[in-house]
A and B are shown apart, each in its own frame.
Chain A
Amino acid sequence: AAGVIQSPRHLIKEKRETATLKCYPIPRHDTVYWYQQGPGQDPQFLISFYEKMQSDKGSIPDRFSAQQFSDYHSELNMSSLELGDSALYFCASSLESGGTYEQYFGPGTRLTVT
């Protein structure tokens, strides 16, 4: 079965650079979530989109922005990167219109800021 796809899997950037992470949800899923997970920490919710509209916002810094496109893929744009942004970034998708809220996670993008 198709799963959530994230790219790139690994990314190394320098401080103050920008990064774009991409997420392709499971086909026909209508909701996408972005999470940031530091070492030994639980996933921190950043932002979510339902049917291409922002549905919820968590602890996403102002330096970050995200959007969901017409084909349902989503991009997380990160600017003015800081060392503390080094983390695993997960994208998850779900079919909320189906009444279930199980989130299926992608493999993650490991971002290292040097």
Chain B
Amino acid sequence: GQNIDQPTEMTATEGAIVQINCTYQTSGFNGLFWYQQHAGEAPTFLSYNVLDGLEEKGRFSSFLSRSKGYSYLLLKELQMKDSASYLCAATDSNYQLIWGAGTKLIIKP
């Protein structure tokens, strides 16, 4: 079957760095997305990885290892506004998004 695993909740301190891991099993693979979602709001696109390696975009970076079925989202210099759920989603052979349940990130001062 198709499955996405990511931690349910993580806590980090303002100004610190946090890494949110995601493992996936899909029928075929056409890339992995990370979305940020604040409570009651729409998911917003953060990153897309289809090749192995690290993609850096400001304070956020995303890494992919296709052979391991693994990705992580790295958030640096954490700010209080980064408190949100972070959704990992993989595209299968039909380019359909398979969503993880999301990781709720709590930032403490």
Contacts and interface: CB of A to CB of B under 8 A. Distances in A.
Contacts of A107: 41-42
A108 B38 CA distance: 12
A64 interface: no
B61 interface: no
Chain A interface bracket (under 10, 10 to 19, 20 to 34, 35 or more): 20 to 34
Nearest to B91: A101
A36 to B, nearest CB: 12
Contacts of A88: 40
Interface stretch (B14-22, B64-72, B99-107): B99-107
Contacts of B99: 42-45
A8 to B, nearest CB: 15
A56 B93 CA distance: 12
Contacts of B35: 105
- Which residue among B48, B91, B94, B97 has the maximum number of chain A CB atoms within 10 Å of its CB? B97
Contact of A103 (B41, B45, B100, B101): B45
Contacts of B101: 41-42
A90 interface: yes
Nearest to B98: A45
Contacts of A33: 97
B30 A101 contact: yes
Interface of B: 30-31, 33, 35, 40-45, 48, 87, 91, 94-97, 99-102
25 contacts: A41-B101, A42-B99, A42-B100, A42-B101, A42-B102, A43-B43, A43-B87, A43-B99, A44-B99, A45-B96, A45-B97, A45-B99, A48-B96, A88-B40, A90-B43, A96-B95, A100-B48, A101-B33, A102-B45, A102-B48, A103-B45, A103-B97, A105-B35, A105-B42, A106-B42
Given A48-B96, A103-B45, 7 more contacts: A43-B99, A45-B99, A56-B94, A100-B48, A101-B30, A101-B48, A101-B95
